Structure 1
Amino acid sequence: MTYRYLTPLLLALAAPAAQAHEVWIERDGTGPARIYLGEPGEALPPGGDPEFDHLKTPQLLPASKAAMARKAGYLEVAVPAGDVRAHDDTVFAPWGEDGKKEGVAYFARAGRAEARSAMPFEIAPVSAGGDRFVLVRDGKPVADAQVTVISPDKWTKAVRTDAQGTLAVPLREKGRYILTASHKDEAGGETSLGKVAVLHRIATTTFISE
């Protein structure tokens, strides 16, 4: 089955590209970060996802002036050692009727060396290097929320956070894992492309299990 279940059906009908796609970061050791736009639960098409051109200016956190090189399917950027974070609310323009527009904001992280969150929506390790994570929204843990675990061989499993907003990642094999979560904010908010009545936040975290 195509990987489509992280956002509601109405969003799928209104903006299929936005609802089906996520932004995630991959990094090997202390090498450059690779920032992707696509469907992490699916094999990346040759040359990158068809919507990849929409990913233009993700913002690193902390801010960086390092140049991003556009490769075949990802943006590559040199970053300091440690966890890598980026956010972007300009990938897809707001959609819908005036006064009812919806938008999407992406929050991506690679690594689990820091047991803290730094973005408005983030999946962070409970302890450095650990396999237990917490979903945080606006500085507070999110209980009973769905987080999808994608293993290196693209096996997926939906896990719900507990009362403290935490979940244990089922590790099956060595390699890169991707965690994804989404939240529909009916209160809306301001984005770089204007105010929206509904804001869809989508978070990803990747880490390597050895």
Structure 2
Amino acid sequence: MRKLPFALLALVALSPVAQAHEVWVERDGSGPARIYLGEPGDVLPAGGDPEFEKLKAPRLVPASTAQQTRKAGYIEVAAPAGDVRVIDDSVFAPWGEDGKKEGVIYYARAGRTEAKAGLPLEIVPTAAHANSFTLIRDGKPLADTKVMVISPDKWSKNVTTDAQGRVTVPFRERGRYILTATHTEKGDLTLADQKVATLYHIATLTFVN
């Protein structure tokens, strides 16, 4: 399948700044976690994504007091053994007209050793190290939802969850994969003490095949 530019695959409903950006976490073995903001389908620019400065204080789940150190393009933090989970609702301030404002919350996970969810929106392996996953929102599977698969060589493919919220990832090669999915919530909502009408929940999962 021909690789498409990642920006063209991003949700057009998001603001021009937020539409192509994700928060994701990478970890090698039991080493420190690296938290990124950028476009995971593209090669990261030298020094990090231009919007990286907006990633101020991502929160580990469960909460941790571990020191976060800013590096060139990512935040490094010592994390407990096992899968790493992060949430951030302050990267981009709500945008748009009053009464129609939109906002975004990012959820990121690294690792696939646990077949359970720990975030409000999460891409969860059906078993430890499985190549099938369930997209879970508040404990319930999300059916008929697109999940983007980004391979180590930045090849991208969209797959859609089935009636049980599951997808199977087509592995092409060894290396680090990134999965991403979005759930859109509408209503009388609040983000950063502002009223928003639309809230985009964006989840990523990274793992090494």
In the alignment, which of 3, 10, 15 is matched to residue 13 of structure 2? Answer: 10
Q: Does structure 1 residue 59 correspond to structure 2 residue 59? A: yes
Q: CA deviation at 1:91?
A: 0.0
TM-score normalised by L of structure 1: 0.94
Q: CA deviation at 1:193?
A: 4.5
CA contact (8 A) 1:93 1:193 kept: no
CA contact (8 A) 1:180 1:204 kept: yes
Rounded to whole Å, the distance in 1 between the matches of 2:120 and 2:107 is 8
Number of matched pairs: 205
Q: CA deviation at 1:175?
A: 0.6
Partner of 2:179: 179
Q: CA deviation at 1:19?
A: 1.1
Partner of 1:157: 157
Runs (4 or more) in structure 1 with deviation over 6 Å come to none
Q: Does structure 1 residue 196 correspond to structure 2 residue 199? A: no
SS in 1 for 2:201: strand
Q: CA deviation at 1:17?
A: 1.3
Q: CA deviation at 1:188?
A: 5.2
Q: CA deviation at 1:20?
A: 1.1
Rounded to whole Å, the distance in 2 between the matches of 1:145 and 1:176 is 23
SS in 2 for 1:86: strand
Rounded to whole Å, the distance in 2 between the matches of 1:188 and 1:153 is 41
Matched residue type, 1:6: A
Unaligned ranges ≥5, structure 1: none
Rounded to whole Å, the distance in 2 between the matches of 1:156 and 1:114 is 25
CA contact (8 A) 1:123 1:136 kept: yes
Rounded to whole Å, the distance in 2 between the matches of 1:21 and 1:158 is 17
Matched residue type, 1:147: V
Rounded to whole Å, the distance in 2 between the matches of 1:162 and 1:28 is 31
TM-superposition CA deviations, 1:45-70 (whole Å, max 9, x none): 00000000000011100000111000
With over 3 angstroms needed to count, the CA separation of the structure-2 counterparts of 1:18 and 1:69, relative to structure 1, is same
Q: CA deviation at 1:151?
A: 0.5
CA contact (8 A) 2:149 2:158 kept: yes
Rounded to whole Å, the distance in 2 between the matches of 1:169 and 1:153 is 15
Matched residue type, 2:152: P
Q: Percent identity?
A: 62
Rounded to whole Å, the distance in 1 between the matches of 2:10 and 2:187 is 19
Rounded to whole Å, the distance in 1 between the matches of 2:117 and 2:189 is 21
Partner of 2:79: 79
SS in 2 for 1:17: coil
| RMSD (Å), alpha carbons | 1.1
Rounded to whole Å, the distance in 2 between the matches of 1:98 and 1:23 is 27
Superposed, which structure 2 residues align to 1:52-131 within 5 Å? 52-131=52-131
SS in 2 for 1:53: helix
Rounded to whole Å, the distance in 1 between the matches of 2:176 and 2:91 is 25
SS in 2 for 1:47: coil
